[in-house]
Structure 1
Amino acid sequence: MNTENTHEIVVLGAGYTGMLAAVRVARNTRKLNVAVTLVNPSERFTERLRMHQVAAGQELTVYRIPELLDGSGVRFVRATATAIDPAAHTVTLDDGATLTYDTLVYALGSGTDTGNAPGVAEHAWTLNDPRAAHRFSQRLTEIAATGGTVTVCGGGLTGIEAATEIAESHPDLTVTLISSGEPGAMMGDRARVHLNKALDRLGIIRKIGVKVTKVLPDAVRLDTGEPLASDLTLWTTGVKVPPLAAQAGIATDTRGLIITDPTLRSISHPEIHAIGDAAAIRMPWGQVHGTCQTGLPTAAYTADTIARRLRGKSVAPFRIGYFHQPLSLGRKDAVIQFTNADDTPNRWYLKGRPAVFYKAFVSSTPPFAYKLSKHMNAQVQLTNGGRATRRLA
């Protein structure tokens, strides 16, 4: 695709998956005529696993992408991809520049969907961006001085972590968690008992079995018709992906995720690899949903696969299984539900201080993995799912 016969690999997105894919494929192709370019709108690496801590007012280590890439051989371009032309193998950037690729790694991830109820985009906050999370924390401090109210919408892991972090950091606030189902419903009974004890201990009010139909500047309206006063509303429910792939004519599912073959290549454009939240990946047990524990393995696998194909070697299908559901409950408590390959809970769980250390280790792993991957192929996959993911011949 270029006059210098250099194989151009472009990675879109420098989140958890894009960072690892770029660093690892650069190392694995170091002796080949390959150039790797990583594109991202910001120079700051966002630790999505820890945005609830930022929202509660905690200061985290700031990682700069150029510093994380130093010595890897990856070229960093600070820009936003605005269009992909699969026929011409080009990516258009918001600064007017165009990148040409031979292989494209699509790692644009996902964010909270703010369009699934009126008023969310205008009046609710999300954890999509560290700058917004920091501004949210400043507002928290302001309303805590008057004993204000905070509403967290969504009873999944993100909503629970945010609610408990806020309640622990600001005990003078009234924190309400709204969930259409049982908070932590994906966990086993014993893990949920511990979770609910933590919610009780922190004084978090639960509204379960209801949905928010509208977000107002100072309240939310439930599907029961009940208005609920809310000085600050945090929205953590619903997921959306960038429309870039669908707009380019790349085969996507109804949610906009790139449909992949067993080796994580686009079924319509095999020179495009999709990883993490951007990919529609199916295992024999069902659809893989976006988490860091599956995203990093897709990145490592894709980096290794690209290098193997460039060397003319065979490639085995991608296999993954879930291992755990780590959940922090503030800084002093946590619960870890261990799972079967299909993410259903098994009998084992961890709670209290041991779980706190476990969760802290999990959350801190990615930046370390990027640094290590400059020198060796770091192990990032906890399990390939065993028999549950073996395809029939």
Structure 2
Amino acid sequence: MSEHTDVVVIGGGYAGVMAANRLTQRADVNVTLINPRPTLVHRVRLHQLVGGTDEAVVPYEDVLADGVRLVVDEVTRIDAAGRTVALAGDGPDGTAGALAYDYLVYAVGSGSAAPDVPGAAELAHPIATLEEAQRLRAVLDRAPSTAPVTVVGAGPSGIETAAELAEQGRRVTLVCGGVLGPYLHTRGRRSVAGRLAQLGVTVVDGPGSKVTEVTGDAVRLADGRELPSEVTVWTVGFGVPDLAARSGLAVDAVGRLLTDESLTSVDDPRIVAAGDSAAPSGLPLRMSCLNATPLGARAADTVLSRLAGEEPGHVHQSFSAQCVSLGRNAGLYQFANRSDIAVWLHIDDGLGAKIKEKVCQGIPGHLSGEARKPGSYKLHRIPGGVTQRRKLLRAAEADRAAARTEATSTVAGGSA
């Protein structure tokens, strides 16, 4: 009788689905994908869900390989020593208990960071998850079209949500808490500001624009201003689930699983990570769909290499960019260098919108392509990026060494 290898993938987002599909290359690998929802959340369209122009979900039958077993449930704990995961048992398919694995892919993704501003947790509406976006959509449906809406946070989610709602005729104020589009190059930022102005969005930026309090009908800023707000949308920061930390695995300061450059947990060679919840060498890639899908492929390749008795490859990112929609008729495609720093080159207006839509369509396209033909995805293997990654790793290690030396000197000085 032939032996099979059981691989459990926790998380059915872009990274998890890519990893699960890719692992079906081997007939002797049994793949189980565990996810709390029965559909793929198309996160890059959540702002469209808020605006009512898309449902932001994709059926798993459209993107998941036939050979992958889907379990709709939530993992409550990882037992690395026993190689099992505990299930909550509250999903439609779930029964409380445990699933055993030979290898585990940790791809739990990210969500909203807990706000520390008074009133924000109780009165503002985050949109980092499907359920949050659905709740906000219901709130907006009940609110008059003239109700003032304040979007807090001027990263891609904030900009996209503000533009989407303003295009529908909503009175929208975008509070930056600093700079509009911090990632963007100055030229790209000017383009975004111009489009938001055309849509009627009031942009509040600068050092005094940090939110200090959220009330039921207003947002208060650090410089003393009070902005009327019947609906406040909170897009500031991302956090990751604490599953790894609760399970006793090493994590970084944010809670991402600490791994080596092959995405293997520093604690256990049977656990690999992918997507927003991975911190290779303590130097994680930017949380984004741009990185999630390639990291899912890389995590699967690490497992497959180990099964073949080969040394797994390392993470590298040869291409960086940021794509932002500005309503249904405009967008911005911001190019970046291999250090993931925005450069002067960008594409905006109608062509930018078309590129953004192609990107949104392309993500499930990559997943379904891998489902049909496992191993066909190649973007994580594009040459380049290795040298830059090594430079970043050396710089990070030098910083850590300097910090250790300073700490040792401080202790020695105190002892004297």
Task: State the TM-score, normalized to the length of structure 2.
Answer: 0.86
The alignment of Structure 1 onto Structure 2 pairs a total of residues equal to: 382
* Residue matched to 1:347: 344
Q: Matched residues in 1 for 2:117 and 2:383: separation?
A: 37
Q: Matched residues in 2 for 1:84 and 1:299: separation?
A: 19
Q: Matched residues in 2 for 1:262 and 1:292: separation?
A: 19
Determine if contact 1:321/1:389 at 8 Å carries over to the other structure: no
SS of structure 2 residue aligned to 1:200: helix
Shift of 1:43: 0.3
Determine if contact 1:9/1:102 at 8 Å carries over to the other structure: yes
* Residue matched to 1:23: 21
Aligned partner of 1:336 among 333, 337, 340:
333
Asked if residue 201 in structure 1 is aligned to residue 195 in structure 2, the reply is no
Q: Percent identity?
A: 35
* Residue matched to 2:213: 214
- Opposite residue 197 of structure 2, the aligned amino acid is D
* Residue matched to 2:64: 69
* Residue matched to 1:117: 117
Determine if contact 2:316/2:389 at 8 Å carries over to the other structure: yes
Asked if residue 291 in structure 1 is aligned to residue 263 in structure 2, the reply is no
- Opposite residue 182 of structure 1, the aligned amino acid is V
The 1:322/1:213 distance shift into structure 2, 3 A limit, reads farther
Q: Which moved more, 1:47-56 or 1:306-315?
A: 306-315
- Opposite residue 74 of structure 1, the aligned amino acid is V
Aligned partner of 1:34 among 24, 29, 33:
29
1:1-393 mapped onto 2 (5 Å cutoff): 5-26=3-24, 28-30=25-27, 33-60=28-55, 62-71=57-66, 73-95=67-89, 96-145=96-145, 147-169=146-168, 171=169, 173-208=170-205, 209=207, 210-282=209-281, 287-374=284-371, 375-376=373-374, 377-381=376-380, 384-385=384-385, 387-390=387-390
Q: Matched residues in 2 for 1:251 and 1:308: separation?
A: 23
Q: Matched residues in 1 for 2:383 and 2:160: separation?
A: 25
Shift of 1:287: 4.1
Q: Matched residues in 2 for 1:318 and 1:75: separation?
A: 27
Kindly provide the CA deviation profile for residues 134-163 of structure 1, in whole angstroms up to 9, marking residues without a partner as x: 342243243243x11101010111111111
Kindly provide the CA deviation profile for residues 141-197 of structure 1, in whole angstroms up to 9, marking residues without a partner as x: 43243x11101010111111111111012x1x2101111221113211221111111
- Opposite residue 262 of structure 2, the aligned amino acid is T
Shift of 1:244: 0.8
Kindly provide the CA deviation profile for residues 70-112 of structure 1, in whole angstroms up to 9, marking residues without a partner as x: 52x0101000111111111111011112011111100001111
Q: Matched residues in 2 for 1:194 and 1:372: separation?
A: 34
Determine if contact 2:332/2:349 at 8 Å carries over to the other structure: yes
Structure 2: gaps (5+ residues) = 90-95, 395-416
Q: Matched residues in 2 for 1:131 and 1:383: separation?
A: 38
SS of structure 1 residue aligned to 2:151: strand
Determine if contact 1:22/1:37 at 8 Å carries over to the other structure: yes
Structure 1: gaps (5+ residues) = none
Q: Matched residues in 2 for 1:132 and 1:184: separation?
A: 23
The 1:360/1:70 distance shift into structure 2, 3 A limit, reads same
Q: Matched residues in 1 for 2:119 and 2:102: separation?
A: 42
Shift of 1:390: 4.6
- Opposite residue 233 of structure 1, the aligned amino acid is T
Kindly provide the CA deviation profile for residues 9-42 of structure 1, in whole angstroms up to 9, marking residues without a partner as x: 000000111111111112x222xx2211000011
Kindly provide the CA deviation profile for residues 292-346 of structure 1, in whole angstroms up to 9, marking residues without a partner as x: 1111111111112211210112222221144211111111111111000111122
Q: Matched residues in 2 for 1:354 and 1:385: separation?
A: 28
Q: Matched residues in 2 for 1:116 and 1:322: separation?
A: 34
SS of structure 2 residue aligned to 1:371: helix
* Residue matched to 2:412: none
Determine if contact 2:112/2:129 at 8 Å carries over to the other structure: no
Q: Matched residues in 1 for 2:250 and 2:2: separation?
A: 31
Q: Matched residues in 2 for 1:328 and 1:61: separation?
A: 15
The 1:67/1:107 distance shift into structure 2, 3 A limit, reads same
SS of structure 2 residue aligned to 1:296: helix
- Opposite residue 309 of structure 1, the aligned amino acid is R
Determine if contact 1:321/1:342 at 8 Å carries over to the other structure: no
Kindly provide the CA deviation profile for residues 265-307 of structure 1, in whole angstroms up to 9, marking residues without a partner as x: 1111121111111011359xx6422111111111111112211
Q: Matched residues in 1 for 2:273 and 2:35: separation?
A: 16
SS of structure 2 residue aligned to 1:24: helix
Determine if contact 1:322/1:342 at 8 Å carries over to the other structure: no
- Opposite residue 254 of structure 2, the aligned amino acid is R
CA RMSD of aligned residues (A): 2.1
Determine if contact 1:89/1:102 at 8 Å carries over to the other structure: yes
Determine if contact 1:280/1:287 at 8 Å carries over to the other structure: yes
Q: Matched residues in 1 for 2:98 and 2:186: separation?
A: 53
Determine if contact 2:274/2:292 at 8 Å carries over to the other structure: yes
Q: Matched residues in 2 for 1:203 and 1:318: separation?
A: 42
